[in-house]
A = this chain, B = another copy of it.
């Protein structure tokens, strides 16, 4: 039997290919390969290309309304290298405890598993991590002598749930972290994929203590193939992370091209890409409303690339996956995102990479597969994503 072709790939979170700025990047490449030829024959050093560090300091500083020192930004090979390096810098032993969202980014979860960190998941609701559960968890761990090495939080347009943590809850999380002396690693890679509503503040805006770490990325605003991410951290934490780095620096060529492209800020290109992604989000939500209102619920993200969908408990999930693949639809099942690999009735739809037509055609096909994989015709027994 041949593998069916995936025509509707809601699987991975990628940028929109139609707005890839080919001509501008070609011009940038031609310019920097000549002007920075000398630097390209050298090793870039631990922090990386100064121009891109300045551009990213400007990006973060303008969004948050605070000054960011470019010398406190360290470029990495995508934000995944930043995820791994920062965990390695804070880890002392195999089995060290860390707090994560109950559902989180599989890249991070797999990296932490590989590092043999013991993850403890904090329950989520529509505002992200529940502070009452975090408080209770920290108290219990403390009794067991297990103080977490850090809290990993994707508070803005969270992957996979799409939630945006409200400011007061961010402040409460910071207070709780301070009470136990635990640093927060804030992964804010979706921050500038913003559609509407309030832009919630980053941890470093609310709390300037230098133990917190911030991770950024160009994968969602430009393209994953550039493999450019960064850590924003202050000494002495920055030095601790730098000391764990052994790759002789990040990609200078890609960084130079991106720096030239973003030399006047990121807003011009974000002004092109975000409306396109916003439209795709709307089509995804519209399709779900039309097709699945009676049996499912889902998130309505105000930014980012993902919709998180809750299915009835009676969906045979392996059967659904087989049906969907056979119908040309790909998605990531809930189990991929659970910190303890628990199989739960959720799935994630990534809409950034598909065409509008693929979204409009793919959602009804997925909806039919979900209905076929059920063992009943009952309406949904839940009203929210997490009740």
Chain A residues with CB under 8 Å of chain B are: 12, 14-17, 20, 22, 25-26, 29-30, 33-34, 36-44, 76-78, 80-81, 83-84, 107, 110-111, 114, 223-227, 243-244, 246-254, 256-257, 353
Q: How many angstroms from the CA of A12 to the CA of B81 in the assembled complex?
A: 25
Write the nearest CB–CB distance from A49 to chain B, whole angstroms: 9
B227 touches A249 (CB 8 A): yes
B26 touches A41 (CB 8 A): no
Name which of A78, A247, A251, A253 has the most chain B CB atoms within 10 A of its CB. Answer: A247
B17 touches A38 (CB 8 A): yes
Q: B residues within 8 A CB of A107?
A: 246, 248
Q: How many angstroms from the CA of A15 to the CA of B243 in the assembled complex?
A: 25
List 3 tightest A-B contacts by C-beta distance, closest first.
A40-B225, A225-B252, A29-B29
Q: B residues within 8 A CB of A14?
A: 41-43
Q: B residues within 8 A CB of A33?
A: 22, 25-26, 29
Write the nearest CB–CB distance from A98 to chain B, whole angstroms: 15
Write the nearest CB–CB distance from A8 to chain B, whole angstroms: 16
6 contacts between A and B (CB under 8 A): A20-B38, A22-B33, A77-B227, A80-B247, A227-B247, A253-B253
Q: How many angstroms from the CA of A226 to the CA of B224 in the assembled complex?
A: 17
* Given A22-B37, A37-B22, also A248-B226 (CB < 8 A): no
* Given A107-B246, A114-B243, A253-B225, also A17-B29 (CB < 8 A): no
Q: B residues within 8 A CB of A15?
A: 41
* Given A29-B29, A41-B17, A254-B253, also A248-B225 (CB < 8 A): no
Write the nearest CB–CB distance from A37 to chain B, whole angstroms: 5
Beyond the given A20-B41, A40-B225, A83-B246, please list 12 additional residue pairs across the A-B interface where CB-CB is below 8 A: A12-B43, A17-B41, A26-B29, A26-B30, A29-B257, A40-B224, A41-B353, A42-B353, A78-B248, A107-B246, A226-B252, A251-B254
Write the nearest CB–CB distance from A137 to chain B, whole angstroms: 25
Write the nearest CB–CB distance from A177 to chain B, whole angstroms: 24
Please pick, from B81, B84, B246, the residue contacting A80 in the complex, using a CB distance under 8 A.
Answer: B246
B20 touches A224 (CB 8 A): no
